[in-house]
A and B are shown apart, each in its own frame.
Chain A
Amino acid sequence: MTGTLVNTTVNGDAVQFACPTDESLMDSLRDRVGLTGVKEGCGTGDCGACSITLDGELVCSCLVLGVEANGRNIGTVEGLADGDKLHPLQEQFINHAALQCGICTPGFLVAAKALLDKNKNPTEEEIRYALAGNLCRCTGYDKIVRAVQAASKDLRKKK
């Protein structure tokens, strides 16, 4: 392998890895940084299972190159909880049975957080469209939408 050195920040920590220039950030995060909470469902940007934030913007990490992470800030599902305190979205996903197999859950949580960071009180329709880039095959989305609604309420109460 011919690697290029990448210096980046992942969930607040300085991280360094080397990867080939044609490697996706998804593969770099999974195989080199060891963050397997980033899931591969398709590798073509259609399923959202590999969703992360890059400088605060929601992206499919399979559509970003590992080398593009140089000097950027990456957020993954592993960074959602604050120490042993789960993020309200994580708590409400559990409370609302918003996951069955759970493979899509990290991507949904990252995408839902990106929504709630921008829109504190989204309507059902806004939630459904904000999460339309994330595929779930188990739940029919019903309990996912309810969990996001509940988390949004929790977050508003906190502030």
Chain B
Amino acid sequence: MTHDQSFTNQKFKLVGSRVNRPDGVDKVTGRAKYGADASAPGQLVALFLRSPHAHAKIKKLDTSKAEKLAGVKAVITSADLPDHTAGAQLDVLENCMARDRVLYDGHAVAAVAAIDKETAKKALKLIKVSYGKLPHVTDVDEAMRPGAPLVREDIFTRGVDPKPTEPSNVCKVSTFGHGDIEAGFDEADVIIEKSFKTEQTHQGYIEPHACLASVGPDGNGELWVTTQGHYTYRTVCAALLGMDMAKLKVTSSEIGGGFGGKTHVWIEPIALALSRKANRPVKAVMTRDEVFKASGPTCSTSMDIKIGAKKDGTITAGSAHIRYQDGAFRGQWGQLGAMTAFACYDLKNVQSVGYDVLVNRPKVAAYRAPSAPMAAFGVESTMDLVAEAIEMDPVTLRIKNAAKEGTRASYGPTYGPIGIGPTLEAAKNHPHMRAKLKKNQGRGMACGFWFNFGGQTCTDINISADGTVNLTLGTVDVGGSRASMSLICAEELGIPYDQVKANIADTSSLGHNDTTEGSRGTFSSGMATIFAAREAIEEMKERAAQTWDIPVEEVEWVEGEARAIGQKNDNLPPLTLKDIAARAAATGGPIAGHNEVVADGAGVSFASHICDVEVDPETGGTRIIRYTVIQDAGKAINPDYVEGQFQGGAAQGIGWALNEEYIYGDDGRLQNAGFLDYRIPVCSDLPFIDTEILEIPNPNHPYGIRGVGETSIVPPLAAIGNAVSNAAGVRMTHVPMSPPRILKAIEEAEA
């Protein structure tokens, strides 16, 4: 059955209220089970041997001594992992386990499964690897220079004409835009050109990757795993190991943070391979060091931004060339960055070019609105410089050029109703904007955009005999979505929130659901939940009609009960959901609602952030004094958790802007793979983070929902960059703006 997904401006009883999450008690009592919290009888412990080199040939790999050690039940190298995908996913397999050469510090070369950790550690020491070191490159600009060490010899730049004949570290060039930028710059009174850099950061989820794998000789397998997408993990693991998808049951544990980093497989296929070889359950848990070195951080970037404007503030042209390092494996990060760079603005002439560049660093994974924060840092910093040059208030400049309904986006489509203008107006009118600043303090603001995704979704609703309801979802709950989905289900059925129990299904119990990424969870599972509930209601109306012996057309569903319409039915008292559920066995059996949908039409999302900082000119240290997030949610289903997404994204952005970075030595090795040296914001670093939720309905969702999870990390780098620049009196162009970089900038400005 197809359903109309148009926005209907429905009046809500429950949606929009601040309810307690259904998994709250489990999570405050320690009962909730995460990736590393499951065990199986006879389980083995898996450990990985990882490369100490940034780039090297594996000349010899000898595991014979390790295999002979008492208590070792399986050893795996690439020799145990033939490519079952005809090359299609060979790069995924190669990242999980190096084949003929290692491509980054921390690249896995072997794994063992043993009866306990002690034995597994001993076994790793017995594996002999002979490496032949190769030249390496870890910096994105260095990697693009002629003569740079080649990370891979089989990469020829895509997206350029003519097709190159020589291999390159640039795997793709993506160009977006419209109009004539040269003509646009000719019209400008002021042109600002500036280059910027951002360093590599990690999502920093507190829970390391962890799984419990079990595969029998009959080809049946189970995987308990912390993931944002257990169906995707099933698809990928089954393909890599040559297993039948239906015979691999993947259960998503509670997930201790992902932010994009748990959308790809890392140790999981290897844990399954070890289990298959040993014919015993295998538990694999990454250390924090491994998480930093061998999961998927986000890109470092380098970029050149150029914006031209008339004195009245009209932007005549914008161009961006942004170079994203993808680690050692091909990605799409440059493409995404180029698409988002100018998405906030209504520009006649615009061009953005993204470069995907390989270096000897770990494979890059998504990190919350991937690629957008870096592009926004460059563009939004340059916007402030334009405002300064034409002596216009930065918010006014942005409002004047903001995209609106009907604007042709810089990446192609024409916008429907969008929130960039309203978030900017709200920022302009916010009391924060008028608060007084003290000595060494500065204020900055910036905007941000994210697409939001939809995708394949599948949901079940089962009505129990006592009238309570099981809502079975397939989108992993990364931050409270079971509460939102329960609210939606209860709203549609007309029953109290606490009569719905939401569960995340394993892959055997419900059809495919795409990964919870792209802020799609509430948008798409919300849509499937609405439609599934409406199917259940149709079924309950049928049952009521049957009970009353009247045509179903004479039954309506109001406030959780079936009512018979029309005077002739006046003698029929309403049948509540509970009444109908109790009689289900006699009226046709269990009552369920079900929906499968490809949720299209995810509404794009915009935010404006305001930030006050204080910079200590002696130390270069920066404190966030005040921070305000204003974002369009379309419709906030559970406002507490929408605010939480706004605050969390801002906090991650603050860490990225001021502290966090991957530091590589000349040897190509990561020097700060731990939370002591890679410092994420702690409680005492931050103030309360104010939020303002705007609700500009998404026309393509019955409730008007837009994704809210990611956009909040897009503006902070630029908002803080602008604030620090205003406080320190010197333009900051390199993120993170750590104390040494700020001091250096101040000293250079003074010199």
Contact = CB atoms under 8 A, between A and B. Distances in A.
B411 to A, nearest CB: 29
Contacts of A5: none
A53 to B, nearest CB: 14
A132 B675 CA distance: 13
B686 A132 contact: no
B667 interface: no
A43 B641 contact: no
B648 A44 contact: no
A134 to B, nearest CB: 7
A89 B686 CA distance: 21
Contacts of A132: 682-685
A16 interface: no
Interface string B147-162: 0000000000000000
B255 A101 contact: yes
B318 interface: no
B689 A102 contact: no
Q: Is the interface of B mostly helix, strand, loop or mixed?
A: loop
Given A1-B118, A46-B674, A139-B648, A134 B29 contact: no
B687 to A, nearest CB: 9
A15 interface: no
Nearest to B675: A46
A33 B673 CA distance: 30
Contacts of A20: 118
A86 B29 CA distance: 8
Contacts of B27: 99, 102, 105
A144 interface: yes
A44 B675 CA distance: 8
Contacts of B258: 101
Contacts of B479: 100-101, 138
Nearest to B226: A103
Which of A43, A49, A146 lies at the interface centre, i.e. has the most chain B CB atoms within 10 A of its CB?
A43
Nearest to B691: A142
Interface in A113-159: 125, 127-129, 131-146
B480 interface: yes
Interface stretch (B18-26, B62-70, B438-446, B730-738): B18-26
B677 to A, nearest CB: 9
A145 B688 contact: yes
Given A101-B479, A102-B254, A140-B651, A41 B207 contact: yes
B478 interface: yes
Contacts of A90: 25, 28-29
Interface in A1-51: 1, 20, 30, 35-44, 46-47, 49
A97 B28 contact: no
B301 interface: no
B25 A94 contact: yes
A96 B36 CA distance: 27
Contacts of B269: none
A57 B204 CA distance: 28
A143 B647 contact: yes
B38 to A, nearest CB: 9
B640 interface: yes
A76 interface: yes
B31 interface: yes
A66 interface: no
Nearest to A130: B683
B116 A135 contact: no
Contacts of A133: 682
A90 B29 CA distance: 8
Given A47-B206, A128-B683, A129-B684, A39 B674 contact: no
Given A97-B21, A101-B205, A78 B689 contact: no
B721 interface: no
B288 interface: yes
A76 B28 contact: no
A100 to B, nearest CB: 4
Contacts of B651: 137, 139-141
Interface in B610-652: 640-641, 643-644, 647-648, 650-652
A100 B34 contact: no
B704 interface: no
Interface string B45-78: 0000000000000000000000000000000000
A64 interface: no
A140 B37 CA distance: 25
A86 B257 contact: no
Given A129-B684, A139-B647, A99 B28 contact: yes
A41 B208 CA distance: 6
B648 A95 contact: no
Contacts of A78: 29-30
A43 B675 CA distance: 10
Contact of A137 (B18, B118, B287, B648): B648
Contacts of B478: 100-101
Report, nearest first, the 8 A-B pairs whose CB atoms are least far apart. A37-B30, A103-B256, A140-B651, A102-B27, A46-B675, A97-B640, A140-B647, A94-B24
Given A37-B29, A100-B480, A103-B34, 10 more contacts: A41-B675, A77-B28, A95-B20, A102-B27, A102-B256, A135-B675, A137-B206, A137-B652, A143-B647, A145-B683
Interface of A: 1, 20, 30, 35-44, 46-47, 49, 76-78, 80-81, 86, 89-90, 93-97, 99-106, 109, 125, 127-129, 131-146
Interface of B: 18, 20-21, 23-25, 27-34, 36-37, 116, 118, 203-208, 254-259, 285, 287-288, 478-480, 640-641, 643-644, 647-648, 650-652, 674-676, 680-686, 688-689
